[in-house]
A = this chain, B = another copy of it.
């Protein structure tokens, strides 16, 4: 059975068996999905013109949805076109560079009677994980296209939790670093970077929550009574993720304010030290200046121990000033 490089097609037969379809088998796909109790899952990675044509011609995908596929970078949404639901979501992927904590992988899902099509442009842990479970236990994952949709979205949402933990760690590190009074400009760079990532995440998650809500609320054939609690659970998870992101944004804002306070505080410490140093050094300079005066009648100058006496006075003055400032914690 010939395989198309960018397409994988699995079908659950009514007896719970799995059948893997080849790339040219469109007639079979069509036949299968129109039979009752069959679930056909077509997964397309990095669709090319050929795939787009397939979607347009065989699955009646709406021109706007195809345009979205070609343009990419869509906002998470659920669009209803006649018999078909089109869902756009994003999953968390490991970052491609050191600069970022994550990347987002776009996912377009088309669900209709008897089939689900997933389209994506990158390796997708969620799709691949669900695919593996589909092969193992087709019945558990894809009793209906709706449950297959849930399985995929659930895997997508679960991918956010490790990222949140990583973000929490980063923010705690940052707070510790700021309170320890470390290099401010490094902290600032981290604050701005984390802020940007949290905002990016929020911008992406908030419509995704709306999608989950729409799946719950709308009278969609694909969410039946048995799967309703699952979609409720999905929604709850997304709300929890968003709550955490908001909490982290608040913590980050406080960290930025704390950073300003710490900088101000450091400045105070520096100025106190400057004051202390100035006084400690100026006092003996003044004394030296006094004994450098050229008065004819300046008795100490003739004392045999005048010089050690002067040095002693200087030392006492310096130590006195140092102790004075030390006690006030100005050093």
Residues of chain A having any CB pair with chain B under 8 Å:
62, 64, 74-75, 77, 79, 81, 175, 179, 181, 184-185, 188-189, 191-192, 195-196, 199-200, 203, 207, 229-230, 232-233, 236, 239-240, 243-244, 247, 250-251, 254-268, 270-275, 277-279, 281-286, 288-307, 310-311, 314
Taken together, the copies of this chain in the complex come to: 5
24 CB-based A-B contacts, threshold 8 Å: A64-B230, A81-B229, A181-B185, A185-B262, A196-B251, A200-B247, A203-B247, A207-B239, A256-B257, A257-B257, A260-B261, A261-B263, A268-B270, A274-B274, A274-B275, A282-B285, A288-B293, A292-B293, A293-B294, A295-B303, A296-B301, A296-B306, A297-B304, A297-B306
CA distance A60 to B296 in the complex (A): 106
Bound: A295/B308 CA distance, A: 10
Are B307 and A297 touching (Cβ within 8 A)?
yes
Decide if B296 touches A302 in the complex (CB within 8 Å). yes
In the assembled complex, which residues on chain B have CB atoms less than 8 Å from the CB atom of A192?
175, 179, 254-255, 258
Chain A facing B: main interface SS: helix
Residue numbers in B under 8 Å from A240 (CB-CB): 74-75
Residues of B close to A295: CB separation below 8 A: 291, 300-301, 303, 306-307, 310
Q: Which of B81, B277, B281, B307 contacts A293 (CB 8 A)?
A: B307
- Contact pick for A267, options B267, B290, B291, CB 8 Å: B267
| A225, chain B: closest CB distance, angstroms | 10
Q: How far is the CB of A77 from chain B (nearest CB, A)?
A: 6
A293 contacts B291, C-beta separation under 8 Å? yes
Query: Which residue of chain B is the closest to A291 with respect to CB atoms?
Result: B293
Whole-angstrom CA separation of A50 from B300 in the bound complex: 93
Minimum CB–CB distance for A262 against chain B, Å: 7
